[in-house]
Structure 1
Amino acid sequence: MSTPSGNNHRREADGASASAVVANVSKSAKKKRRGAAKTDERLEAFHSLHANMQANLATVRSNLQRSYSRANRLDLVLVMDCTNSMALWIDVAKREMATILATIQVDHPQATVRVGFVAYRDFCDGSLRLEIQQLTTELARVEAFIASLEATGGGDGPEDIPGGLDAALRLDWQADAKCLVLVADAPCHGELYNDLGDDHRYAAEILESPCIQGQMRELATRGIDFAFIDIVPKWTATMLAMLEQAYESVLPAHGNPGLFSVVPLDNMGDEIKFAPVVSHHSSAVLLASQCVSVFSPALAPSTPMPSAPLPLPLAPPRPPTPEWSPPMTILPLDWNGIGMLDAVSAERHTLCLGPGSMDWSAPDLRHATHATTLRLCKVPFARGGMRTAHGLVDATVASPLVAKFYFGRAKATGYDVRRDVETQTIAKALASAFTMATSPGADFLYACWYTVDGLPAFTAEPFMDGDYRKFNNNSGWTQKAATTAQAFSHFTWQHTLGQALVVDLQGVDGLWTDPQIHALDKTLFGRGNLGEEGMTRFFATHECNALCTALGLPPFDGPDPMAAPLPLAPSEDEMRCSCWLCGATYTRTHAAVVAELKANDGCDVHCDACTALITATTSTVACSTCNRPVTFAAYRCEMEGEAPPTLCMGCTPPTLPTTNGGAGGRVGDAGGRRAPLGHGAPWFPLH
């Protein structure tokens, strides 16, 4: 039976609950007013940005055209040991030079290629110690020169590599794309570089010889990519370790790290790989030059690269760094072998977008750590100009992973693994918005980073088999067939009201990785963020395609930057996705992905395994302030590093972005979903 006292308590509780509801309504109204004012400010800033970029567009286009013209030229110099032991390789060069150049021209039909050749021997060989063919576009002259070479001479075990490199550095290098290929089966003189022993009769010549480490630093400074075709690795390993250290110790004048690569061809029959190795490396250097040809500030006058040799300081080798670095050796990926490696303890670090509306100028990223064990192959299966790729198995992640380590100059000059993961996380969120707007959609691989005792921090992402293609870069260069990628980059600028533009897209079948973001705040997204300049460069080369039109994206040259979105009809075309929580890759129809994004307020999509775990761990609690139901999934909280919620959305106080880490609180509302992350309007965040 009810008592007066009990009724009073109920009335007090009901009154408190009603007061909380009224307070929430008042908070909501104030939030809407603040959001509307903020939207007006962003729109005004967007129009101002558009006008400023348009004013600079003609200058940027002119500079890009001039830079690309220079970058579409290649200077290729082969420096070859032509002593007695190299007869086989000299014959290969005689046969394959035309094939090498033809392959480069197929890959780059508009490129101008000049070739030079330096044959070196040893101090005892008199006038034959060096034979030199100057850089020329005339293939017949190069072939005639190589045809005249004979395998002869050579005194002791080491040879005069510094003499050959000195002659090569004195050639008339002109192109932006510069490549030197050293072909040798023996190291240079000097007890620092070889265990073969030097003939004492050459002591004076060795003392007067240029410092080969100084030569490596000059190659790097002048932006000359270096490749070594290693015929007998056991004899050259000591020298190569020092050469790589010297090359990686400096940056070229244009600031983009060059490529130091070693290709062992020490097995019987490997001579048939000579032409493919040289042509592939040369094409890669030319392509990289085209990509970075506008990397220096586009609005500033260009500075020509020096062509004269720089002084070669006789400096001792740097002491080795105590921190582990990935080896130069490359081995094929062997998942069975990785599974048998010893497991080591590690911490996996993940980032997720915080609840609430998305401010692209100050993204709210939540940092979580997860204790785990992993098996890592320390020998890479691939090596680029800045990072190596290694097979990785994490005991708590179902999918095999690829670990990426920075090395050399990139590691020494401040490239940050956390910045890489931040960039990929934001790009992935923008890809979700893009997928909701058009078909075919796109996605980015889930990315995280690891810390392990005794190793530098490294990033990781799901292993994705297939033919990687690069569609545009962070300075404006594009490939013709990249319709979706180009439209996506344009879309990101529109969607964020000019706060961010995602470029440097590469991947397989619409599943991309390793993006770069240009943001107005240049403190975000690492060293590749070129800010407004980078955005202007993109639009200086971008031509709107059919997908841009379908998205309602206006041409950048037009008077009005605002989009006019068209209705979307989700398609049954399949697209590849990467789970937001565990990273697993899978295939779904575009319509299914759009439906899941809508169900999650445009936030994220999950693989079947994570979806099942979310469902199994979902529960509801009462808001500790107003008693409204708050639904959440314990599995999602654990994966995102969030504490179980105690407050509903209306009672949760506003928080500042937590890009420095830390867990938030509420991850669900009465509908069981996170708040939308900036998808309140069709093409850009309005609140």
Structure 2
Amino acid sequence: MVPTSSYHTLSEDGAPTHESDTLGSYQYVKSSTTTTRTRTRERLRNAEDELKRLRYNLELQMAIASNSRYHVENLHYERPLALLPTMPDVDERIRELKFNELQAKREAPRRSNAGLFKAICSTDLLFLIDTTNSMSPYIEAAKKQVRSIVNDIKATFLDEADVRMAIVGYKDHCDSPNIQFLDFTSSADQVLSFLHILRATGGADAPEDVLGGLHKALHANWKYKTKCIVHIADAPPHGRTSHNLGDRADNYPNPGSEPHGLQLAPLIDLMIQRQINYSLLRINHSTDLMAYKIFKAYTAASADCTLLLTNKYYDKTHSYSSGRKCSLSGRLLMHEAELGATYAALRNLVVRTVTSSVTGTAARYLSRANKPDSKLTIIEEDEDSVPQVEDSSPQWDTPNWFDETISLNGFSPDVTVHGAHTLDNMMAHDDHITMSVLDLTIHKRRQPFAQGGLRLASYARTAASTNRYVVKSSKRDSSQLAELVEGMRCQALCKLFALEFNALLGNQHSIDFIVTACFKGKSEESPGDTCISLEPFIEGNYVKYNNNTGYVNEDITDESNRAAQAFSHFTFERSRGRFLGS
């Protein structure tokens, strides 16, 4: 079983369990979680009660098959909720499932992990520094702390990381030279020698040649997977769209009118394309609009973005962060921090930037490495391949609204009994996550109401009950039942983590995980086998608190958010580092 990831009522690949949810990211096998409220708990109990009834009928069938005495007149259900297999059939299906899982593992390509840690943690760190008159204290700070910065980064990653540094110093167009450049080197002595050459001189109007500096930085000899630009500046670039100083303060107010014809937006796009993390160490408010422009571009690319609360444009960031989707390939970093009037914080800010960037690199690399087909680094969806998603409300009680019927057989986890050692046993081996075998007929909508990166979500009902469900089906034709079973086990394991977590808190901030089941069967509408997962439909407002790529929702400060972050930490500590529910 792989480390699991949880969303607040989002499941597996981020496809929501109701029609108005914002889709999230897919990194590892994911789970879905909700801070329970009265209405949600009632729906969860109803769904779990139905699973209990299904298991009850299964046990009845097993008893009859083994000639045990059973008094049919004592049954509490008017009709069976599912066609249940006989005892020999149950054993055969479990054996077949285990065989298919072993076969899938054997067929999965094996990749060597040799050197993986070093490859991910090794960093290209470029300092982009304004070297005009006012910047002398910060240049001196860089000179004093460059060795400590390199040593701190190496120590953070157990001396396994290579750190290369480059420097771009820029002034303004009237200065000569207006750009000074040291390409990437692993020698701290070379970096220190270059810093001694830099002099805080020059400058004319208020803006500086920031664009020329960025252009030079983009053409440096980048090598490692983790790439960082740390920008130290007290003035914005030329062009009225990048500052609010007024045209009189800018010799080149028209965007693109500066001597090299550069503009900010294309340079930002290149940084994103080349997977470069960007951190602005702000000194004053003159760079606020520039930072906001970069924030918008990186947010649109699903980066993990942060502006200072004191940034004049901070209030505008909520419209971007609230609807932001997680990237399938992991998150870049865009971060604004306060350097202030002194340079004491420089060292810590730089090291924090690098460590956060490495986290994103690890998520991107591992998510790609874990895909079954190495050629499929990310699912690219064009308009022809993306199905039409309906946005109308579900018509649960309308006859013939469900336009597809599927006859299924599959598996559901047994999570109703929890003893003192249940969680430890489940973590020790998958065989301790016991399963029931079910036969089921469902009626579903052919057109999905939502989609994630890998799956489609459709409304559904079973033929034997009135409960409301969501069917998740894969976009890939090659999806196998064994893959769905792995996700189902992760879901069951997280439910056990949540039970212990809630017990510690006294149910003050309860966390719960919905129970999913997975099936294989045949649709009346299409040939071939269909593999799906089935989970309860849950109504309500949905919030994503964190994910597997290091994203933590900092816009919400309520107790539910704190409980979600605490649960992630609990799963890591409780499993002694083997699992992390994020």
TM-score by length of 1: 0.44
Distance (whole Å) between structure 2 residues aligned to residue 228 and residue 90 of structure 1: 15
Confirm whether residue 168 of structure 1 aligns to residue 106 of structure 2.
Answer: no
Confirm whether residue 278 of structure 1 aligns to residue 204 of structure 2.
Answer: no
Distance (whole Å) between structure 1 residues aligned to residue 265 and residue 155 of structure 2: 35
Q: How does 1:224-373 map to 2 (within 5 A)?
A: 224-232=276-284, 234-250=285-301, 255-266=329-340, 268-269=341-342, 271-296=343-368, 298-301=371-374
Residues 47 and 362 of structure 1: is their aligned pair in 2 closer, same or farther, counting only changes over 3 Å?
closer
Higher alpha-carbon deviation: 488-497 or 155-164: 488-497
Q: Which letter maps to 2:234? A: D
Q: Give 1:147 deviation, angstroms.
A: 2.0
Q: Give 1:56 deviation, angstroms.
A: 3.5
- Which residue in the other structure is 1:480 paired with? none
Encode CA deviations 1:3-44: one digit per residue, 9 max, x unaligned.
xxxxxxxxxxxxxxxxx9616289799979537467436513
Q: Give 1:360 deviation, angstroms.
A: 13
Of the three residues 90, 99, 104, the one matched with 1:53 is 104
Residues 200 and 156 of structure 1: is their aligned pair in 2 closer, same or farther, counting only changes over 3 Å?
closer
Q: Which letter maps to 1:121? A: K
Q: Which letter maps to 1:89? A: Y
Confirm whether residue 215 of structure 1 aligns to residue 250 of structure 2.
Answer: no
DSSP-derived class of the 1:153 partner: coil
DSSP-derived class of the 2:180 partner: strand
- Which residue in the other structure is 1:583 paired with? 509
Encode CA deviations 1:40-94: one digit per residue, 9 max, x unaligned.
365134323332233135x3332x5465553232111111111111111111111
Residues 52 and 215 of structure 1: is their aligned pair in 2 closer, same or farther, counting only changes over 3 Å?
farther
Of the three residues 161, 166, 172, the one matched with 1:122 is 172
Distance (whole Å) between structure 2 residues aligned to residue 178 and residue 213 of structure 1: 19
Higher alpha-carbon deviation: 193-202 or 78-87: 193-202
Does structure 1 retain, via aligned residues, the 8 Å contact 2:128–2:231?
Answer: yes
Distance (whole Å) between structure 2 residues aligned to residue 493 and residue 522 of structure 1: 29
Encode CA deviations 1:262-299: one digit per residue, 9 max, x unaligned.
11222x44x21110110121122123323432212544
Distance (whole Å) between structure 2 residues aligned to residue 534 and residue 107 of structure 1: 38
Distance (whole Å) between structure 2 residues aligned to residue 272 and residue 60 of structure 1: 47
Encode CA deviations 1:87-121: one digit per residue, 9 max, x unaligned.
11111111011111111111112111111111111
Encode CA deviations 1:474-509: one digit per residue, 9 max, x unaligned.
xxxxxxxxxx8xx8666568626699xxxxxxxxxx
Q: Which letter maps to 2:338? A: P
DSSP-derived class of the 2:111 partner: helix
Q: Which letter maps to 2:197? A: S
Does structure 2 retain, via aligned residues, the 8 Å contact 1:83–1:151?
Answer: yes
Q: Give 1:531 deviation, angstroms.
A: 8.0
Distance (whole Å) between structure 2 residues aligned to residue 61 and residue 299 of structure 1: 11
Of the three residues 148, 158, 163, the one matched with 1:113 is 163
Q: Which letter maps to 1:216? A: I
Q: Which letter maps to 1:272? A: A
Distance (whole Å) between structure 2 residues aligned to residue 139 and residue 533 of structure 1: 53
Residues 54 and 213 of structure 1: is their aligned pair in 2 closer, same or farther, counting only changes over 3 Å?
same
- Which residue in the other structure is 2:467 paired with? none
DSSP-derived class of the 2:272 partner: helix
**Aligned-CA RMSD value:** 4.9
Distance (whole Å) between structure 2 residues aligned to residue 526 and residue 275 of structure 1: 49
- Which residue in the other structure is 1:659 paired with? 536
Higher relative contact order (CA 8 A, sep 6+): 2
- Which residue in the other structure is 2:206 paired with? 157
Residues 197 and 138 of structure 1: is their aligned pair in 2 closer, same or farther, counting only changes over 3 Å?
same
Does structure 1 retain, via aligned residues, the 8 Å contact 2:328–2:453?
Answer: no
Encode CA deviations 1:340-362: one digit per residue, 9 max, x unaligned.
xxxxxxxxxxxxxxxxxxx9978
Does structure 2 retain, via aligned residues, the 8 Å contact 1:73–1:175?
Answer: yes
Of the three residues 226, 238, 246, the one matched with 1:189 is 238
- Which residue in the other structure is 2:421 paired with? 437
Does structure 2 retain, via aligned residues, the 8 Å contact 1:434–1:488?
Answer: no
Does structure 2 retain, via aligned residues, the 8 Å contact 1:219–1:247?
Answer: no
The sequence identity of aligned pairs, in percent, is 20
- Which residue in the other structure is 1:137 paired with? 186
Distance (whole Å) between structure 2 residues aligned to residue 208 and residue 139 of structure 1: 32
**Corresponding pairs, count:** 355
DSSP-derived class of the 1:257 partner: coil
Distance (whole Å) between structure 2 residues aligned to residue 73 and residue 60 of structure 1: 23
- Which sections of structure 1, spanning at least 5 residues, go unmatched? 1-19, 306-358, 364-425, 442-483, 500-517, 539-552, 554-573, 586-601, 605-655, 664-687
**Which structure has the greater CA radius of gyration?**
1
DSSP-derived class of the 1:293 partner: helix
DSSP-derived class of the 1:34 partner: coil
Q: Give 1:177 deviation, angstroms.
A: 1.1
- Which residue in the other structure is 2:135 paired with? 86
Residues 71 and 580 of structure 1: is their aligned pair in 2 closer, same or farther, counting only changes over 3 Å?
same
- Which residue in the other structure is 1:354 paired with? none
Encode CA deviations 1:156-191: one digit per residue, 9 max, x unaligned.
111111111111110111111111111111111111
Distance (whole Å) between structure 2 residues aligned to residue 170 and residue 24 of structure 1: 76
Residues 207 and 153 of structure 1: is their aligned pair in 2 closer, same or farther, counting only changes over 3 Å?
closer
Does structure 2 retain, via aligned residues, the 8 Å contact 1:75–1:178?
Answer: yes
Residues 532 and 80 of structure 1: is their aligned pair in 2 closer, same or farther, counting only changes over 3 Å?
farther
- Which residue in the other structure is 2:258 paired with? 206
Q: How does 1:365-514 map to 2 (within 5 A)?
A: 436-437=420-421, 491=429, 495=433
Residues 489 and 248 of structure 1: is their aligned pair in 2 closer, same or farther, counting only changes over 3 Å?
farther
Distance (whole Å) between structure 2 residues aligned to residue 276 and residue 195 of structure 1: 30
- Which sections of structure 2, spanning at least 5 residues, go unmatched? 1-70, 304-326, 379-407, 438-451, 458-470, 490-499, 516-532, 541-582
